[in-house]
Structure 1
Amino acid sequence: MRTADIAAQDPPAARCSGPVPPVPGQVEERRLVFDGFGYECRIVHQPAALTAPLVLLGGSSQNRYSWQGHEKWLSPLCTLITVDLPGYGSSDFLPARYGIDFLAAALRHMLAAIDVPRVNLFGGCFGEVVGLRFAQLHPEFVRRIVFCGAAKHLPEIYTDAVPRLSQALERGEIEEAAGGLVRLFMSNPGAGRVRKHAAVARLLQQQFLNQTPDEIKKAVEHNTRLMTHGCYRPLPVPAVPSLVFTGEYDTLCTPQMGRELAATMPAARFTTIKEADHLVTVERRQESSDLIGRFVTHRSIDDLPYCNAVESLCADPVHTTACR
């Protein structure tokens, strides 16, 4: 197994002996190589952190820059780490024969390479799939877990839509595929009031229309990867404080699916954010950032005006005190 670490920026000028501590908000880009596949990570340093670094794993259509809009609320709390794992964003193409275990191993490689022994872990949509497998296989790295738009199994509407969408992408019918992807990720307007629904739909449509050939190739391979390997294995989950949430009108990974996942975790709570759907972290950016930030800094998440009731869904009654 070949690994390497390639600095993506010049080091600061040396003015004294010993390491130079990063200044608040200093951004570092790193290019890493795991098992021959190059990938990229982005670190927003916070020397005066209130908690362990927060790793943000986004969905398949997001990259390491997708969380910049959340930084003004989260970066004062801790160091933020985002990553384009192999097969995603600007990282190397990854054939679908490499499954979720490989991506979890790449995440472990990243944390070892940047010398981060313990993290708060956030995973949204596909990021939850990788994050959960990582927590199951490498629990020693995980301090707290937050998952959003999560499910134990691939939603039926996804498995039904994937063949049509992948074929449209392969034929170059980008507009047709983009429309189908928007309908897949966003709730029907009749489901309930969702903030910024029309604006986010337009943004998503434009994002899909502007995909490069490389991004389209990776998107098709991503769908093949998920359909081939699935998204869940019933392995033990570390008994660390955990939170699962989604938008109250999420029609892709429904609230009930989120509850089912939370129930498999020994120290999990569940809630929904009001007036949002699967794209809750875009539609209600400040509120979702506040919820994540509160949880990873050990503050109360009860009775927040933008959330519905917080439910305790511990699978193991031995750990019920950790849910509170």
Structure 2
Amino acid sequence: MRTTAAIPQDAPNAHRHDSVPPASERVEERSLTFEGFTYTCRIVHQSAPRTAPLLLLGGSSQNRYSWQGHERWLSPLCTLVTVDLPGYGSSDFLPARYGMDFLAAAVRHMLVSIDMPRVNLFGGCFGEVVGLRFAQLHPEFVRRIVFCGAAKRLPEVYTDAVPRLSRALERGDIDEAAGGLVRLFMSNPEAGRVRKHAAVARLLQQQFLDQTPDEIRKAVEHNTRLMTHGCYRPLPIPDVPSLVFTGEYDTLCTPQMGRELAEVMPTAWFTTVKDADHLVTVERRPESSDLIGRFCTDRPIDDLPYCNAVESPCAEPVPAGCR
């Protein structure tokens, strides 16, 4: 979801760019056109990178600015790329007949256009759906993979809720839709202790209420796209270092769903972040940034105080680089 508005402690603001990179890091925006659809990417250049560029593909309502709050931890490590793919953010509306293969091809088009032949790939929530298809169809571009809040099947709670939420959006009942979306993306408070649960719930509620007509139209089309095309095809997945993680109390894409995804990846490990749910990258921004950065720079990820045990669903031992 879009998570750029202010919440307590360390979050960015939707209208103030709190996490401005140091002057030594040049920020560039590129407007591109693919198959007649115009879209925009944002690049935070790192002149002395420690690893390949990191491509961050966020959730369905996130935009290219949604990861500014993570830049203070990630931009010192490498160049960062975020994007409003066709159909999302400020980019052109994309009819639902265009599925995941098209979005994966748009990612490839972007990387070719900005001359990035290989990247570390992060996908969160819907970004994982696009990222996985991109990795399957264009594996030559992928150095490492990190997926968060991920699944290889549509959650039943989502498929049950979509018709109801779409009808509410289409008739302009934004209050009903906003409440339903908050309940969908956040865990029940009784599931377990989640950092900033109340603050994030208020943030999401307000963001949904503030959606523009264009955003609502795109949200309805996004749901139609997912329900029409699904989220997974059993194609080969590149054998590169891979990590799947989510919040330990994720009730949308549950930890078991994350394990199922890791099981079909050749070299994937799985873990959960403590005191978090599906919105772990918002609730525990410094910790999730640290985890992503560690994995992308081959630093240890086991025994981290904010994570539960690192698992190997494929029954392979955790590699030395992850210890």
What TM-score do the two structures reach when normalised by structure 2?
0.91
State the one-letter code of the partner of 1:75.
S
State the one-letter code of the partner of 1:94.
L
C-alpha distance in 1 between matches for 2:167 and 2:313: 39
C-alpha distance in 2 between matches for 1:191 and 1:302: 25
What's the CA shift for 1:90?
0.1
Could you tell me the percent identity over the aligned residues? 84
State the one-letter code of the partner of 1:164.
R
Residue in structure 2 matched with residue 287 of structure 1 by the alignment: 287
C-alpha distance in 1 between matches for 2:305 and 2:293: 16
C-alpha distance in 1 between matches for 2:40 and 2:57: 13
C-alpha distance in 1 between matches for 2:77 and 2:208: 32
Residue in structure 1 matched with residue 156 of structure 2 by the alignment: 156
Contact 2:148 2:245 (C-alpha < 8 Å) held by counterparts: yes
Contact 2:299 2:321 (C-alpha < 8 Å) held by counterparts: no
Contact 1:192 1:249 (C-alpha < 8 Å) held by counterparts: yes
C-alpha distance in 2 between matches for 1:83 and 1:33: 13
Residue in structure 2 matched with residue 50 of structure 1 by the alignment: 50
SS at match of 1:311: coil
What's the CA shift for 1:323?
8.4
Residue in structure 2 matched with residue 179 of structure 1 by the alignment: 179
Residue in structure 1 matched with residue 236 of structure 2 by the alignment: 236
C-alpha distance in 2 between matches for 1:27 and 1:320: 36
Alignment of 1:258-269 (within 5 A): 258-269=258-269
C-alpha distance in 1 between matches for 2:91 and 2:320: 37
State the one-letter code of the partner of 2:86.
P
1:98 equivalent to 2:91? Answer no
1:306 equivalent to 2:301? Answer no
Residue in structure 2 matched with residue 135 of structure 1 by the alignment: 135
**Segments ≥4 residues shifted beyond 3 Å:** 319-324
Gaps of 5+ in 1: 1-21
User: Once superposed, what is the RMSD of the aligned Cα atoms?
Assistant: 1.5
What's the CA shift for 1:321?
5.4
Q: What do the CA deviations read for 1:71-114 (whole angstroms, capped 9, x no partner)?
A: 00000000000000000000000000000000000000000000
Residue in structure 1 matched with residue 40 of structure 2 by the alignment: 40
What's the CA shift for 1:24?
2.9
Alignment of 1:1-324 (within 5 A): 24-314=24-314
Judged with a 3 Å threshold, the aligned counterparts in structure 2 of structure 1 residues 259 and 323 are, in CA distance, closer, same or farther, namely: farther
Residue in structure 1 matched with residue 13 of structure 2 by the alignment: none
C-alpha distance in 2 between matches for 1:83 and 1:23: 22
C-alpha distance in 1 between matches for 2:46 and 2:318: 32
Judged with a 3 Å threshold, the aligned counterparts in structure 2 of structure 1 residues 290 and 139 are, in CA distance, closer, same or farther, namely: same
State the one-letter code of the partner of 1:167.
R
SS at match of 2:32: strand
State the one-letter code of the partner of 2:53.
P
* Structure (1 or 2) with the larger CA radius of gyration: 1
C-alpha distance in 2 between matches for 1:117 and 1:151: 27
State the one-letter code of the partner of 1:193.
R
Gaps of 5+ in 2: 1-21
What's the CA shift for 1:211?
0.3
C-alpha distance in 2 between matches for 1:152 and 1:29: 32
C-alpha distance in 2 between matches for 1:135 and 1:321: 22
Contact 1:269 1:323 (C-alpha < 8 Å) held by counterparts: no
